[in-house]
Amino acid sequence: MYDKPLHQRGVYIVRQATLSIHQEEFSFSAGHFTIFSATERECLHGHNYYVSVNFHFCIQQNGLAFDYRLYKKKILAHCEQLDRHLLLPAHSPYLKLEDAGDYWHAYFNQKKMYFLKEDVIILELENITIEELSHWFLTELTIDKSALAAHGIHQITLNVFNGPGQSAGATWSQDNDAT
């Protein structure tokens, strides 16, 4: 009676599932300061950040969702890129960055801060917050739309934690994708 899989018996059922990945190596330590306004910011400090991701997809005919090692490698590479650096936003309306040879000069509220370039990563963000970092990771993970479609992925939710019990998340959905 059940000697063949459903699709071989002419029955095709779309099976959806969620895969959650949150591994210890999806982490990075980085310095930052949150900018609240033109005159108020946090003091420079750091966090041990963690990243988790949920994929929503259709299970393929072979009983496998997709080879998620590709996405694990991407997340790990981005964590390694940010690890042990000071993160600065490129698009803050309140922080101006100036290239000064071996240094970045950062101007905030009429004060000048000096940072060694080798210690800094400037991200295309308005602020360095877990909200912004979750969108940055998600954007990096969803660049290749054809791969997402080929893998049957229709939604991804990514969370960045800056400590136990505190995270922010961002969601991509093929239904809401502007591209």
Statement: residue 56 has pLDDT above 70 = yes
Q: What is the pLDDT of residues 68-104, one digit of tens each?
A: 899 999 999 999 999 999 999 999 999 999 999 999 9
- Report all structural domains of the chain as residue ranges with CATH numbers, in order of start: 13-87+125-176 (3.30.479.10)
DSSP calls for the chain: --SS-GGGGT-----EEEEEE--TTSEEEEEE--B-SSS-BPPSEEEEEEEEEEEEEEPPTTS----THHHHHHHHHHHHHHTTEEEEESS-SS-EEEEETTEEEEEETTEEEEEEGGGEEEESSSS-SHHHHHHHHHHHHTS-HHHHHHTTEEEEEEEEEEETTEEEEEEEEGGG---
Question: Which position has the higher pLDDT, 40 or 164?
Answer: 40
Structure confidence at residue 108 (pLDDT): 98
pTM of the model: 0.87
